[in-house]
């Protein structure tokens, strides 16, 4: 089980961003808070706070500058494809990039405040790495072309690009959608990318032996009032979390507490606390809004036998032959 100090820290998060007093949480037919629906965490807010921001909440000037920078980044394509007052775009042979259409180009808001990072503790919005934790990140980002085992798990279609599956579930530039389905005994989360279904059991609070380490770990949950609390252990050290601005990896001792609280008709407050005494100097916590969005979620058809992996390895072998003076 998660250590008591971590659970206390996770519970304290709820008080800092509670649902409005006049909001009545909808209920399922079996009386539990209804979290079902299709949700998105798309945003330009990142896990760690960029050095351009000083505080958790951005000032109006900082938020305006960020929006201007992103609009410049995507250029006229952003305005052409999103602004409803613009005329129809010219006919082209290729469709616009998906991330131009899908991405929310704004900072996420919690309690009406634009957040500069998901991390709220430590106050600087940065992951408190140990030296072992830093080395684990370097190992996870090591680029090897010796064989498929050395390629990133997202390239092998084992996990999603940018770690939307997690846990914790991290926003990406595209395909940042989730569908939640509930029964009395289970909560299932369909992750658009990489078409994984995360099953959280509500009946058995025992984790499997340490030798069993799924890509998304092993999760069980329980209801704390109107909040779904989820504990995840047996996390796979090879399933590193990759995010914009730098991610992290778990050690075999890594554990996670997540909290899902319906705070409005179109919002779920998603909170998580990571505890790993090997890779981090202390537990650290984050908050993220999940916004209601239109479905359905279509299949993200990525599989490990795709063309990119054998092509990348074949290219590496060709370079080796050239370096050895051999012909292709």
Higher pLDDT, 279 or 327: 279
Contact 283, 5 (CB under 8 A): yes
In a domain, 294, yes or no: yes
In a domain, 91, yes or no: no
In a domain, 33, yes or no: yes
Structural domain containing residue 199? 4-58+107-323
In a domain, 313, yes or no: yes
Instruction: Measure Cα distances from 220 to 38, 149, 208, 232 in Å.
Output: 21, 29, 11, 7
For the ranges 119-123, 237-241, 306-310, the lowest mean pLDDT is seen at 306-310
- Give this prediction's pTM: 0.85
Write down the pLDDT at residue 106: 87
In a domain, 257, yes or no: yes
Q: Quote the number of domains for the chain.
A: 1
pLDDT in tens, 184-196: 999 999 999 988 9
167 preceded by cis ω (within 30°)?
Answer: yes
In a domain, 38, yes or no: yes
In a domain, 93, yes or no: no
In a domain, 9, yes or no: yes
Q: What is the biggest distance separating any 2 CA atoms in the chain, rounded to whole angstroms? A: 75
pLDDT in tens, 15-64: 456 667 789 999 999 999 999 999 999 999 999 999 989 999 999 999 98
Give me the half-sphere count of Cα atoms (radius 13 Å) on the Cβ side of residue 253: 10
């Amino acid at each position: 089980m998660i250590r008591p100090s971590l659970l206390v820290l996770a519970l304290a998060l709820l008080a800092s961003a509670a649902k409005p007093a006049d909001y009545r949480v909808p209920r399922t037919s079996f009386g539990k808070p209804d979290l079902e629906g299709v949700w998105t965490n798309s945003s330009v807010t990142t896990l760690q706070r960029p050095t351009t921001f000083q505080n958790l909440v951005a000032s109006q000037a900082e938020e305006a500058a960020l929006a201007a920078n992103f609009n410049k980044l995507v250029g006229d394509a952003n305005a052409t494809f999103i602004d409803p007052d613009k005329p129809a775009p010219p006919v082209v042979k290729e469709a616009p990039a998906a991330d131009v259409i899908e991405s929310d180009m704004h900072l996420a808001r919690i309690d009406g405040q634009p957040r500069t990072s998901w991390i709220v503790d430590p106050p600087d919005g940065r992951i408190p790495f140990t030296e072992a934790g830093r080395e684990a990140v370097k190992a996870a980002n090591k680029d090897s072309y010796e064989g498929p085992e050395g390629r990133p798990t997202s390239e092998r279609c084992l996990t999603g690009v940018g770690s939307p599956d997690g846990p914790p579930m991290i926003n990406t530039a595209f395909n940042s959608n989730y569908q939640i389905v509930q029964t009395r005994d289970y909560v299932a989360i369909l992750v658009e990318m990489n078409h994984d279904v995360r099953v959280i059991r509500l009946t058995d609070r025992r984790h499997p032996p340490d030798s069993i380490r799924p890509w998304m770990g092993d999760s069980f949950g329980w209801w704390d009032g109107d909040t779904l609390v989820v504990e995840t252990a047996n996390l796979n050290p090879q399933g590193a979390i990759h995010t914009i601005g730098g991610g992290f990896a778990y050690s075999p001792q890594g554990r996670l507490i997540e909290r899902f609280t319906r705070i409005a008709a179109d919002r779920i407050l998603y909170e998580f606390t990571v505890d790993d005494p090997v890779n981090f100097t202390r537990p650290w916590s984050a908050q993220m809004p999940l916004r209601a969005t239109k479905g359905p979620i279509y299949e993200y058809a990525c599989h490990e036998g795709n063309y990119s992996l054998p092509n990348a390895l074949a290219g590496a072998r060709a370079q080796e032959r050239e370096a050895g003076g051999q012909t292709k």
